[in-house]
A = this chain, B = another copy of it.
Amino acid sequence: MNENEFGRLYKLLAKNLLKELKDELSDMAYPDIAEFIMDLDDDKISVKIFRILPKDISADVFSYLDTEKQSVIVQSITDSEIGRLMDDLYVDDAVDFLEEVPANIVRRVLANTDRETREIINRFLTYPDNCAGSVMTIEMVELHDRLTVAEAIKSIRRTGVDKETIYTCYVIDDKRHLVGTIPLRRLLLNDEDTPLTEIMSDDEQLIYVTTMDDQEYVAAIAKKYDLLSVPVVDKENRLVGIITIDDIIDIIDEEATEDFEKMALLTPSEDEYIKTGVISLAKNRIPWLIVLMLASTLTGQIIEGFESKLSVVAGLTACIPMLMGTGGNSGNQASTLVIRGLALGEIKIKDYFTILWKEIRVSLMVGLVLALANYGRMLLLRLTGSDVTDSVILVVSAAVMAVVVVSKTIGCSLPIVAKLLKLDPALMAGPLITTLVDTISLVIYFALANAIIF
C-alpha cells in the first residue's frame, strides 16, 4: 500500500468519518487493512478501527496483525467478541496467536471459546515447537472414498467456505485413514460420474508427513513435490490436519533466518529484531562471544611464546592481523557454501570427498593468487619506506598460501562433520572457524618464520 492510500485513510480518521472509513477499509485487501491498524500508534484508535470492520472480515484481518496489536485488541474487546473471533479464526492462526501472548490472555480467550474449539486448541498447544503438528490447521477438505466427482464437488460447494484451502482435497476411508489426495483441478477436469478412487493419487504418489515430523522436513517435501498443502497424519495414519503453502513459506523464511543467526553466533530467536527487548538481545549474544574470547587465550599464548623473536624482526607482528583475516575470510567462504548447500539439500554427506578435492584445488589457485598479491604489496611497502627484509616477505607470502589452503579445507569439512554428528551445520560457520583458523594460521606462520628467518 502506498503513502497516498494511507493518507486518505488518515484523513477520514482525522475527520472522524467512520462510516466512510469503514467503506474504504471494506474494499481493501486484508494485509493492507492490518498494515493500517499496525501503523496507528494509539492503541485505542487501533481497537476502534478493528471494531468498525465488517464482522465477516475481522478475523481475517486479525490473523495478519502482529502479536502486539493482537494482544491489545483481545484485551480491549468483550468476552462475546472474543468468542466470535476465535470461532472465525483458522485454528493455526488462533494457535500462533495464543503461543505468543501471556498466560492471562490465553486463559481469558480459552474461557470464551466453545468447548470443541478449546479442546482442539489445547491439543495443538501441546505439540512441540517446530513440528508439523504445531503448524498445521484442521480446516481441510475431506472427501469420502465412496464419492464420485459430482458428489465431491457438491460436498466442496457445501463446506468449502470454512476451509483454509480447497485446492487439494484429501480422500479418507471409514476410519479416517488418508487413502488418497486429489487436486481440485483434477476433479473439475474429469467426468462427473468418475469415482474418486479412480482418479486420486494413492500408494506411491501419496505424499504426507506425521504430526511429529520437523517443520524443515515439511518444507522440503512441499518444495520437492510443488505441493499447495501437505497432509498431516497421526501415528495410526489418520488424517489430522494440513499445512498450507503460506505457512510453508513462513517456515522457509524462519529456517533461513535461524541459519543466518547461528552463523553470526546468535542464539536463534523467533521474534522480530525490532520487537525484541534489549535484555533478550544481549542474552542471545553474550554466550558465544565469551566462549570465543576465552578460546582466543590460545592465540595469545602462542604469540606470547614468540614475542621475543617477533620484537627483533621488523614487520612480522604487523602482518598477524592480515594473515588471520585472510584465513578467516577464506574459511568462511568455503563453509558458507557448504552450509547453504546442505540446507537446500544440494549437498549430501556422501559428497564429502568430491567437495574436499574441489576445495583443495580451489584453495591452491586462490592461495597462489593471494600470495603473489601479497608479495607485490610488501615490495611496494618497502619502496615506500618499510624496512622488511626479503625473508620476511617470503615467509608472509608462503604463510598466506598455506593459510588459505588450510582454512578452506577446514571450512568445507566442519559443516559436514557437524551434519554427521547430527549437529546443525550452521553452527560451524564463520566465527567458530575463524577462531580455529586463527590458531592454526599463527602456528604455520611462526613455523615458517622459524624455518626461514631464525
Contact = CB atoms under 8 A, between A and B. Distances in A.
B189 A160 contact: yes
Contacts of A386: 304
Interface in A301-340: 301, 303-304, 307, 310-311, 314-315, 317-322, 324-326, 328-330, 332-333, 335-340
A261 B27 contact: no
Interface stretch (A70-78, A101-109, A344-352): A344-352
B329 A266 contact: no
Contacts of A257: 340, 344
Interface stretch (A117-125, A130-138, A218-226, A230-238): A218-226
A230 to B, nearest CB: 13
A258 to B, nearest CB: 10
Interface string A1-36: 000010000000000000000000001110110000
A60 to B, nearest CB: 10
A197 interface: no
Contacts of A285: 330, 333, 362, 366
Contacts of A264: 332-333, 335-337, 430
B203 A27 contact: yes
Contacts of A226: 31, 246
A272 interface: yes
A329 B292 contact: yes
Interface stretch (A46-54, A79-87, A373-381): A373-381
A300 B160 CA distance: 69
A313 to B, nearest CB: 10
B307 A317 contact: yes
Contact of A292 (B203, B259, B296, B325): B325
Contacts of A146: none
B286 A366 contact: yes
Given A362-B282, A365-B278, A318 B347 contact: no
Most chain B CB atoms below 10 A, which of A320, A347, A435: A320
A420 interface: no
Nearest to A360: B278
A320 to B, nearest CB: 7
A340 B255 CA distance: 12
Contacts of A354: 274
A245 B300 CA distance: 52
Given A317-B317, A336-B266, A346-B273, A204 B27 contact: yes
A307 B316 CA distance: 10
26 contacts: A29-B205, A184-B184, A223-B253, A228-B245, A249-B252, A253-B344, A256-B256, A259-B260, A260-B340, A264-B430, A273-B337, A273-B341, A274-B347, A278-B358, A282-B362, A288-B329, A299-B321, A304-B386, A307-B318, A311-B311, A321-B321, A321-B442, A328-B431, A328-B434, A332-B430, A332-B431
10 A-B pairs with least C-beta separation: A311-B311, A264-B336, A296-B322, A300-B318, A282-B365, A256-B256, A303-B318, A299-B321, A226-B246, A304-B318
